[in-house]
Protein backbone atom coordinates (compact mmCIF):
# COMPACT_ATOMS: atom_id res chain seq x y z
CA UNK A 1 0.00 0.00 0.00
CA UNK A 2 2.91 2.35 0.65
CA UNK A 3 3.90 2.43 -3.06
CA UNK A 4 0.46 3.71 -4.04
CA UNK A 5 1.02 6.79 -1.90
CA UNK A 6 4.74 7.50 -2.41
CA UNK A 7 5.44 6.41 -5.99
CA UNK A 8 3.39 9.08 -7.82
CA UNK A 9 4.96 11.85 -5.74
CA UNK A 10 8.46 10.55 -6.45
CA UNK A 11 7.77 10.33 -10.17
CA UNK A 12 6.35 13.85 -10.32
CA UNK A 13 9.29 15.17 -8.29
CA UNK A 14 11.78 13.54 -10.66
CA UNK A 15 10.11 14.38 -13.97
CA UNK A 16 8.72 17.89 -13.43
CA UNK A 17 9.79 21.21 -11.94
CA UNK A 18 9.23 21.82 -8.24
CA UNK A 19 6.74 24.64 -8.84
CA UNK A 20 4.41 22.20 -10.67
CA UNK A 21 4.40 19.58 -7.90
CA UNK A 22 1.17 20.61 -6.13
CA UNK A 23 -0.77 21.02 -9.35
CA UNK A 24 0.29 17.67 -10.75
CA UNK A 25 -0.32 15.75 -7.52
CA UNK A 26 -3.78 17.34 -7.37
CA UNK A 27 -4.55 16.40 -10.97
CA UNK A 28 -3.48 12.78 -10.58
CA UNK A 29 -6.68 11.47 -8.92
CA UNK A 30 -8.87 13.39 -11.36
CA UNK A 31 -7.06 11.97 -14.36
CA UNK A 32 -7.26 8.50 -12.86
CA UNK A 33 -11.02 8.79 -12.28
CA UNK A 34 -11.56 10.10 -15.82
CA UNK A 35 -9.57 7.19 -17.23
CA UNK A 36 -11.54 4.64 -15.23
CA UNK A 37 -14.89 6.11 -16.27
CA UNK A 38 -13.87 6.33 -19.91
CA UNK A 39 -12.65 2.75 -19.88
CA UNK A 40 -15.89 1.48 -18.31
CA UNK A 41 -18.04 3.32 -20.83
CA UNK A 42 -15.94 2.16 -23.76
CA UNK A 43 -16.13 -1.42 -22.51
CA UNK A 44 -19.90 -1.16 -22.10
CA UNK A 45 -20.32 0.25 -25.62
CA UNK A 46 -18.15 -2.50 -27.12
CA UNK A 47 -20.07 -5.15 -25.15
CA UNK A 48 -23.41 -3.79 -26.39
CA UNK A 49 -22.12 -3.51 -29.96
CA UNK A 50 -20.58 -6.99 -30.10
CA UNK A 51 -23.17 -8.79 -27.99
CA UNK A 52 -20.65 -10.26 -25.57
CA UNK A 53 -17.78 -9.64 -23.22
CA UNK A 54 -14.97 -11.08 -25.35
CA UNK A 55 -14.48 -7.95 -27.48
CA UNK A 56 -14.73 -5.72 -24.39
CA UNK A 57 -12.07 -7.78 -22.62
CA UNK A 58 -9.80 -7.61 -25.67
CA UNK A 59 -10.26 -3.83 -25.74
CA UNK A 60 -9.17 -3.63 -22.09
CA UNK A 61 -6.12 -5.77 -22.80
CA UNK A 62 -5.22 -3.57 -25.78
CA UNK A 63 -5.57 -0.41 -23.69
CA UNK A 64 -3.33 -1.91 -21.00
CA UNK A 65 -0.69 -2.78 -23.60
CA UNK A 66 -0.77 0.74 -25.02
CA UNK A 67 -0.40 2.19 -21.52
CA UNK A 68 2.54 -0.13 -20.81
CA UNK A 69 4.21 0.88 -24.08
CA UNK A 70 3.85 4.56 -23.15
CA UNK A 71 5.29 4.02 -19.68
CA UNK A 72 8.15 1.82 -20.88
CA UNK A 73 9.21 3.96 -23.84
CA UNK A 74 12.83 5.05 -23.86
CA UNK A 75 13.45 8.38 -22.12
CA UNK A 76 13.76 11.44 -24.30
CA UNK A 77 16.58 13.92 -24.02
CA UNK A 78 15.86 17.00 -21.99
CA UNK A 79 16.80 20.36 -23.43
Could you give the dihedral angle defined by the CA atoms of residues 65, 69, 39 and 15, in that order, rounded to the nearest 10 degrees? 150
| pLDDT value at 78 more than 90 | no
Q: How far apart, in whole angstroms, are the C-alpha atoms of residue 34 and residue 77?
A: 30
Q: How far apart, in whole angstroms, are the C-alpha atoms of residue 3 and residue 10?
A: 10
The number of CA neighbours under 13 Å toward the Cβ of 78 is 4
- Predicted local confidence at residue 5, as pLDDT: 67
Q: Average pLDDT of 68-78? A: 82
Q: How far apart, in whole angstroms, are the C-alpha atoms of residue 56 and residue 48?
A: 9
Amino acid sequence: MRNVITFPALIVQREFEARSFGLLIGLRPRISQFRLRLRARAGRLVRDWSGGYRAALLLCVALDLVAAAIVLRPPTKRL
